[in-house]
Amino acid sequence: MSRIGKIPVKVPSGVEVKVDGSRVEVKGPKGELGMDLVPGISAVVENGEIVFSRAEGREKELSPFHGLARALVQNMVTGVTEGWTRKLQVVGTGYQASMSGKKISLQVGFCNPVEIEIPEGLKVEVPQPTEIVVSGIDKQKVGELAARIRRARPPEPYKGKGIRYADEVVRRKEVRSMAGG
């Protein structure tokens, strides 16, 4: 039995939820999101809450999707009310980030800057050359863009240089020595 799937999603004031068959659409002050539920999972809006249930006779196979559907709709409700933000830090001598139109330009130790296109619906800010803030209403898109930016130069364990999430802890290694022993 899915424990997460049993918890109803509270709908805050100012948010409209429309369930049409297996399609759930959420509209709020920051925007609008929609998704299709897995066949066999159904959603109902009642008393300001979204309640999820599984089809009879398929409880065991649909159990993981029950919790997944509830978590994804909760993320949509949070996204249209508060939005999602992911902060990254650029660490290293001479490493920096800058905005150039609809692209983010990263100077991270390569001979040419790494340019990453910003998808529609996301907002990227560079308050300082060593700080990047990705924000938007879709949690998956925000996380994907942050991961693509980090992938340009992931942090290395010896000096800690690279692009890391603001809350990430990079485990440092001792410097390798050439002495045999």
- How far apart, in whole angstroms, are the C-alpha atoms of residue 106 and residue 83? 25
Domain 3-81, CATH number (from 3.40.50.740, 3.40.1020.10, 3.40.190.100, 3.90.930.12): 3.90.930.12
- How far apart, in whole angstroms, are the C-alpha atoms of residue 154 and residue 175? 18
How many angstroms separate the first and last alpha carbons of the chain?
56
Q: Are 51 and 43 in contact (CB under 8 A)?
A: yes
- How far apart, in whole angstroms, are the C-alpha atoms of residue 90 and residue 72? 30
Domain 84-165, CATH number (from 3.90.930.12, 1.10.630.10, 2.60.120.260, 3.40.640.10): 3.90.930.12
pLDDT at 178 over 80: no
Q: Which residues of 91-123 are buried (b: 16+ CB within 10 A; e: fewer)?
A: bbeebbbeeeeeebbbbbeeeebbebebeeebe
Residue 4: pLDDT band with limits 50, 70, 90: confident
Average pLDDT (11-29) is 93
> In the chain, what are the domain boundaries?
3-81, 84-165
More confident residue, 178 or 145: 145
At which residue do the structure tokens 């907002």 appear? 123
Q: What is the pLDDT of residue 177?
A: 75
43-93 pLDDT, tens digit per residue, is 999 999 999 998 888 878 888 899 999 999 999 999 999 999 999 999 999
133-176 pLDDT, tens digit per residue, is 999 999 999 999 999 999 999 999 999 899 999 998 888 888 87
Average pLDDT (8-29) is 93
| 3-81 and 84-165 have identical folds | yes
